[in-house]
Amino acid sequence: MIDTNEVIRAYLALDAGLIALVGDRIYCPRLHENTTLPAIGFFTRGGTSTPYIPDIPAPSVQFDCWAKDEVVGGVVTKKGSIIARQVYRALYDALQGIQNVKVTIGATDYYILSAREEVQGQDLVDVEIPNYYRVLTFFEIIVM
């Protein structure tokens, strides 16, 4: 069975737009405690597969694009909500509408047959941690 999370992470880790914003901070299933932000956390929340073609899963994946206020000398220089939205936009650009993209892990080739956004990015504020923001989105990603 295909580890769709591994394929998705490998694909995202090579995207120049995401690298520019989050570096290698793309985590599955969740961010580690005290992770440097901005970062992306994602996990498979369900999805579909067909018994006729079992090696082509179509997971529904939740992505959380995290950021916090940038503070220099006690002054907020860039709002975390804006940074989180930039990360979401880069994620959207990396995934939305891709087709037949080869992802090589070790000596094995996988393909992301398609990706489409199921729910547009939702701006959320973490009420327990001041100045932390995230944009929540969901994608269906078909992998082979």
Give pLDDT tens digits for 52-96: 777 788 899 999 999 999 888 988 888 999 999 999 999 999 999
Average pLDDT, the chain: 93
* CA–CA separation, 68 and 128 (whole Å): 13
* Confidence tier at 46 by pLDDT (50, 70, 90): confident
Average confidence (pLDDT) over 35-52: 88
Average confidence (pLDDT) over 13-40: 95
Average confidence (pLDDT) over 97-113: 96
Instruction: Report yes or no: 91 and 117 within 8 Å, Cβ to Cβ.
Output: no
DSSP reduced 3-state for 4? helix
Calculated CA dihedral for residues 95, 96, 100, 103, nearest 10 degrees: 0
Strand residue runs (E) in 51-107: 53-68, 70-72, 75-78, 99-105
Q: Is the peptide bond before 130 cis (omega within 30 degrees of 0)?
A: no
pLDDT of residue 125 exceeding 80:
yes
* Confidence tier at 17 by pLDDT (50, 70, 90): very high
The closest of 23, 37, 14, 2 to 135, measured between CA atoms, is 37
Higher pLDDT, 123 or 55: 123
| Cα–Cα distance list, 112 to 26, 36, 60, 117 (Å) | 18, 29, 13, 14
* Confidence tier at 49 by pLDDT (50, 70, 90): confident
Average confidence (pLDDT) over 7-30: 97
Q: What's the topology of domain 4-143? A: STM4215-like (3.30.2000)
